[in-house]
Structure 1
Amino acid sequence: MMTSGNLKQLQRELTLLRAEGKYKETIDRGLELLEIGKIQKDPNSQLVALINVAACYYST
């Protein structure tokens, strides 16, 4: 089970991966965060995931 702290860490990791230009990895981890956010009913995690995944698809 993911804790709130773990979700925040995954959100930061996602943003960092995108900033580093690791788009494929960002998309993979972003989709994982999106699913976890849905399960945990955490709209902020879902939003972070969708923004980063969309930006990566746009960049590629």
Structure 2
Amino acid sequence: MAGSQKAKGKTEQAKGKAKEAMGRAVGNERMEAEGRAEGARGDARQAKEKAKDTFKH
């Protein structure tokens, strides 16, 4: 379960970065902001999984 959550976090981070870059390239501030938010969700998911791993061992 934890592995899939880590992968999901990485995917969210990558999608967020891509969306943010695309929004910046076309001048769409809303898309850029959505990309930042999605990346932040991925970061949070990654941090949560790292914390769970730390306390598990």
TM-score, length of structure 1 as denominator length: 0.58
Q: Percent identity between the aligned chains? A: 12
Report the count of equivalent residues.
40
**Residues 12-48 of structure 1, C-alpha deviations (whole Å, 9 max, x = no match):** xxxxxxxxx5111111111111111001000110111
Equivalent residue number for residue 33 of structure 2: 47
More relative contact order, 1 or 2 (CA 8 Å, 6+ apart): 2
Equivalent residue number for residue 42 of structure 2: 56
TM-score, length of structure 2 as denominator length: 0.61
Cα distance between partner residues in 2 of 1:56 and 1:26: 5
Following superposition, which runs of at least 4 residues in structure 1 exceed 4 angstroms of deviation? none
Give the counterpart letter for 1:45 in structure 2.
M
Give the greater-gyration-radius structure (CA): 2
- Whichever structure has more helix as a proportion of its residues is 2
User: Over the residues paired in the alignment, what is the CA RMSD in angstroms?
Assistant: 1.2
